[in-house]
Chain A
Amino acid sequence: MGVLAYNWDFSWIDDNWPAFRHAWWVTIQLLLFSALFSVSIGMVVGQLLNSPRWWVRALPRIYVELFRLTPIILQIVFFFLVLPIVFGVSTTNFKTGILALSLNYGAFAAVIFQAGIAAVERGQWEAAQAMGMNRLVTLVRVIYPQAITKMLPPIGSMLIYLNKDTSLVSVIGVTELFNVSQSVGARLFRNIEVLMFIAMLYLVINIPLAILSERLHKKYSVNA
């Protein structure tokens, strides 16, 4: 009878919608910027990880492992504390959050790019080079068009995880969805309803992403 005994109340939504709308927009911005930066980082670092020279691979490898093997929430708080000391300026928590998310997800993206490029057969490189294409032209004309089909499905799942993990920057006071849900919930004593409400807002972003990711996966695993 426990569920029935609880008196559900969602009447607060109307009054508080502007606050949630703003927080949702912050979450979406965190997602977009971090996605852009992490994919860019992944593209460059993934390329370096495939270098035949160990001294080119060394630093990127350390970066990737450091960020993959430590908790993301630790990284977020770490940058929050360290950035002002290093740069002597106080940056906004919003930017710090994007930096931490981008570096963490950049490490994952790097591994996706590395694997995507490495999965293209060696013979493709050889055919292109035997024709007199240089490295850059080979990458753009031959390797990337094939690698991208292998990378899109994992990039799709990565973005889903990234969207969920934007909630972690609430700990450094960025007023995104989860952060706002805590303050509003505490004020209204409607924490459970508030959590259910923002869960829906996360789903509005992630369900289309999941469908897209699944479609890409099907399309390219059939064609492969």
Chain B
Amino acid sequence: MAAAVELIALHKDFGKHEVLKGIDLAVEPGEVVVVIGPSGSGKSTMLRCINFLERPTSGTVTVLGQRLTAKGTQLMRVRRQVGMVFQHFNLFPHRTALQNVMEGPRVVLRVSKVEAEQRARALLDKVGVGDQADKKPNKLSGGQQQRVAIARALALDPQVMLFDEPTSALDPELRAEVLDVMRQLASEGMTMMIVTHEMHFARKVADRAFFLDGGVIVEEGLPAEMLERPKTERLNRFLNRIFWGEVPGAATAGETHLDPLDNKLDPT
């Protein structure tokens, strides 16, 4: 079966600054992968190259068997099949939650108003904000906004979902509600690529993890193995920093802090 997303020798410079220095990876349909790494490692840039929000400097991006080019119609078609969720939600502030979710089907897919609304309400229910449908984004909490944003992306019936640090702008107690929705999506078989710092989520939900540093993939493997027994010194250092901080003695504080899913997962 063809890969859902395949990157070959992907390079990206911003002027003289080389952010991606040759990325090769393939994500199979139905797979959930997380991308971790320090800030500035290029993980967001990599994700944004997949739907050409950033144009790669060289290398190829193949999504659902279609090699991406800058050509308008082809690019628009591929983008409709790839949903994206942003760190800062990027909801349309002049439209209600319901209208935000209807916008793609109405404008891009040209679905009838009745059908778009029906579908939008179902999606808002699915992500647990059905009762907020008529509110503008600025009346919603961050967690609610992000769930509306996920519903908005799902409304186009995508084959692949990209998440760019979806919980990084949220207060810790609001993260769980977003992670829950993502976990449910994963269990339904959605192909997902998630740039995140949520290590527990990575360990429990993802099939595979990639560790990016300095614009290259330093390590990849099963999330649990990678997090427990990092093979490279760089990953080891990174994990130490995010789990324990630089402060000696604060050893387990990070663990409980990053644990919004624990009581809900792992029935085994």
Contact = CB atoms under 8 A, between A and B. Distances in A.
A213 to B, nearest CB: 21
Given A130-B53, A131-B103, A137-B107, A124 B76 contact: no
Interface in B83-140: 83-84, 86, 88, 90-94, 103-104, 107-108
Nearest to A121: B90
B72 interface: yes
Interface string A128-162: 01111110010001100110000000000000000
B231 interface: no
B51 A127 contact: no
A214 interface: no
Contact of B94 (A121, A126, A134, A146): A146
Given A124-B92, A146-B94, A130 B51 contact: yes
B90 A132 contact: no
A129 B94 contact: no
A134 to B, nearest CB: 6
A123 interface: yes
A127 B90 contact: yes
B241 interface: no
A134 B72 CA distance: 8
Contacts of A146: 92-94
B86 A126 contact: yes
A147 to B, nearest CB: 10
Contacts of B82: 130
A143 to B, nearest CB: 10
B76 A132 contact: yes
A123 B86 contact: yes
Interface in A109-126: 121, 123-124, 126
Contacts of B77: 132
Contact of B107 (A124, A127, A133): A133
Contacts of A131: 79-80, 103-104, 108, 152-153, 156
A132 B53 contact: no
Interface string B236-248: 0000000000000
Nearest to B84: A130
Contacts of A142: 92
Looking at A123, A124, A129, A132, the one whose CB has the most chain B CB atoms below 10 A away is A132
A127 B87 CA distance: 11
B92 A127 contact: yes
Contacts of A137: 107-108
A100 B153 CA distance: 48
Contact of A129 (B53, B88, B153): B53
B122 to A, nearest CB: 18
A142 B93 CA distance: 9
Nearest to B78: A132
Given A132-B156, A142-B92, A126 B53 contact: yes
A132 B80 contact: yes
A18 B156 CA distance: 64
B90 A124 contact: yes
A133 B108 contact: yes
A141 B103 contact: yes
Contacts of A121: 90
Contacts of B53: 126, 129-130
A123 B103 contact: no
Looking at A123, A130, A133, A141, the one whose CB has the most chain B CB atoms below 10 A away is A130
A142 B108 CA distance: 13
A142 B79 CA distance: 17
A129 to B, nearest CB: 7
Contact of A134 (B76, B83, B149): B76
A141 B76 CA distance: 16
Nearest to A130: B84
A85 B152 CA distance: 59
Given A123-B90, A126-B84, A145-B94, 16 more contacts: A123-B88, A124-B92, A126-B53, A127-B90, A127-B92, A129-B53, A130-B79, A131-B80, A131-B103, A131-B152, A132-B76, A132-B79, A132-B108, A137-B108, A141-B107, A146-B92
Instruction: Across the A-B interface, give the 7 residue pairs with the lowest CB-CB distance, nearest first.
Output: A127-B90, A132-B80, A123-B90, A132-B79, A130-B84, A132-B76, A131-B104
8 contacts: A124-B90, A127-B86, A130-B84, A131-B108, A132-B80, A132-B104, A133-B107, A146-B94
